[in-house]
């Protein structure tokens, strides 16, 4: 098992000593204001200045998740947490909004909101770790919803699309 698979399956804490079960108990306030959890719940293949301790997705991670329904389901549990915060939900592979989307209840629809960057990371992570169909459905849903509002830039929508198609980067070491 890898660092990412051990963390998401609850077998070991992250580099700050936090267990995944702790994250599931966090409030939406905490999810909005902490900036070092998203990289752990949704690892990708590129580093970030916000959490230099976050693990990077490797070829070994991609292979493990591709071959393990259990690991993919652990990742989807993290997705369900963040979707709830964003005012969204998942039914199987489908992404939807239980209430009519608006910036008051869907924070990512606010102009230049950092949750738009988080969405890019989530889409990329899902794609890299074997949940491609859900990643595609999430990207499609948020792009279609964003078009109804004038608060999400074309550049951000491009990032959401490219998170699905960019080839994986093999991290050093």
Average pLDDT of the residues in 96-105: 94
Tokens of 108: 């990512």
Query: Looking at the domain assignment, is residue 29 inside a domain?
Result: yes
Alpha-carbon gap, residue 94 to 138, rounded angstroms: 8
Tokens 């369900």 sit at which residue?
Answer: 80
Asked if 152 contacts 146 with a C-beta cutoff of 8 angstroms, the reply is yes
pLDDT tens per residue, range 29-40: 888 888 778 999
Q: Structural domain of residue 142, as residue ranges?
A: 3-165
Query: Looking at the domain assignment, is residue 171 inside a domain?
Result: no
Query: Looking at the domain assignment, is residue 65 inside a domain?
Result: yes
Average pLDDT of the residues in 71-81: 96
Query: Looking at the domain assignment, is residue 127 inside a domain?
Result: yes
Query: Looking at the domain assignment, is residue 137 inside a domain?
Result: yes
Query: Looking at the domain assignment, is residue 91 inside a domain?
Result: yes
Average pLDDT of the residues in 87-92: 97
* 72 CB-near residues (< 8 Å, 6+ apart): 65, 129, 130, 131
pLDDT of 171: 57
Query: Looking at the domain assignment, is residue 172 inside a domain?
Result: no
Q: pLDDT confidence of 172, banded at 50, 70, 90?
A: low
Number of structural domains in the chain: 1
Query: Looking at the domain assignment, is residue 170 inside a domain?
Result: no
Q: Say whether pLDDT at 147 is over 60.
A: yes
Q: Say whether pLDDT at 85 is over 90.
A: yes
Task: Quote the percentage of the chain above a pLDDT of 90.
Answer: 70
Alpha-carbon gap, residue 149 to 64, rounded angstroms: 39
DSSP string for residues in the chain = --HHHHHHTTSS--TTS--HHHHHT--HHHHHH-SSSHHHHS--SS--SS-TTSPPP-HHHHHHHHT-HHHHHHHHHHHHHHHHHTT-EEETTEEE-SS---TTT-GGGSTT-HHHHHHHHHHHHHHHTT-HHHHHHHHHHHHHHHTTSS-S-HHHHHHHHHHHHSPPP----
């Amino acid at each position: 098992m890898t660092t990412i698979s051990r963390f998401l399956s609850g077998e070991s804490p992250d580099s700050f000593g936090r267990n995944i079960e702790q994250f599931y108990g966090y409030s939406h306030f905490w999810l909005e204001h902490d900036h070092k959890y998203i990289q752990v719940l949704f690892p990708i293949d590129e580093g970030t200045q916000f959490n230099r301790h976050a693990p990077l997705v490797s070829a070994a991670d991609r292979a493990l998740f591709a071959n393990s329904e259990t690991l993919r389901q652990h990742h989807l549990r993290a997705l369900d947490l963040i979707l709830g915060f964003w005012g969204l939900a998942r039914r199987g592979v489908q992404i939807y909004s239980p209430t009519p989307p608006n910036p008051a209840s869907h924070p990512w629809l606010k102009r230049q909101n950092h949750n738009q960057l988080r969405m890019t990371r989530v889409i990329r992570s899902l794609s890299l770790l074997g949940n491609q169909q859900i990643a595609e459905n999430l990207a499609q849903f948020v792009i279609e919803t964003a078009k109804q509002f004038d608060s999400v830039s074309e550049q951000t929508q491009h990032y959401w699309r490219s998170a699905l198609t960019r080839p994986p980067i093999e991290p050093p070491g």
